[in-house]
Amino acid sequence: LIQLAIPLNFIGFVYREIRQGLTDIEHMFDLLDVQAEVVDKPDAKELMIDKGAISFTDVHFAYDPARPILKGISIDVPAGKTVAVVGPSGAGKSTLSRLLYRFYDVQGGSITVDGQDVRDVTQKSLRAVIGMVPQDTVLFNDTIAYNIRYGRIEASDSDVEAAAEAAQIADFIRSLPEGFRAMVGERGLKLSGGEKQRVAIARTILKAPPILILDEATSALDTKTEQEIQAALDIVSRNRTTLVIAHRLSTVIHADEIIVLKDGVIAERGTHGELIDRDGLYASMWSRQREATQAEEQLKRVRESD
Binding site for ligand ATP (CB under 6 A): 20, 63-64, 69, 89-95, 218, 247
Length of the chain: 306
Which C-beta is closer to ligand ATP: that of 133 or that of 169? Answer: 133
Task: Name the minimum Å distance from CB 182 to ligand ATP.
Answer: 31
Beta strand pairing status for 211-215 and 241-245?
parallel
Phi and psi at 257, nearest 5°, equal: -145, 145
DSSP letter for each residue of 51-103: S--EEEEEEEE-SBTTB-SEEEEEEEE-TT-EEEEE-STTSSHHHHHHHHTTS
Task: Name the minimum Å distance from CB 160 to ligand ATP.
Answer: 31
Which C-beta is closer to ligand ATP: that of 173 or that of 229? Answer: 229
Which C-beta is closer to ligand ATP: that of 8 or that of 12? Answer: 12
Q: Return the ∠ at Cα 275 (arms to 270 and 279), rounded to 5°.
A: 150
Task: Name the minimum Å distance from CB 155 to ligand ATP.
Answer: 31
CB contact at 8 A, 64 and 126: no
Which C-beta is closer to ligand ATP: that of 20 or that of 107? Answer: 20
CB contact at 8 A, 122 and 47: yes
Task: Name the minimum Å distance from CB 265 to ligand ATP.
Answer: 13
The beta-strand segments (E) located in the chain are 54-61, 70-77, 82-86, 108-113, 116-117, 130-133, 211-215, 241-245, 257-262, 265-270
Task: Name the minimum Å distance from CB 90 to ligand ATP.
Answer: 4
Which C-beta is closer to ligand ATP: that of 135 or that of 168? Answer: 135
141/14 Cα distance (integer angstroms): 18
Task: Name the minimum Å distance from CB 228 to ligand ATP.
Answer: 22
Task: Name the minimum Å distance from CB 302 to ligand ATP.
Answer: 30
3-state secondary structure of 183: strand
Task: Name the minimum Å distance from CB 42 to ligand ATP.
Answer: 27
Which C-beta is closer to ligand ATP: that of 163 or that of 213? Answer: 213
Which C-beta is closer to ligand ATP: that of 20 or that of 125? Answer: 20
Element (DSSP H or E) covering residue 16: helix 2-21
Q: In a 10 Å sphere around its CB, with 0-12 CB exposed, 13-18 middle and 19+ buried, how is residue 297 labelled?
A: exposed
173/157 Cα distance (integer angstroms): 14
Which C-beta is closer to ligand ATP: that of 202 or that of 217? Answer: 217
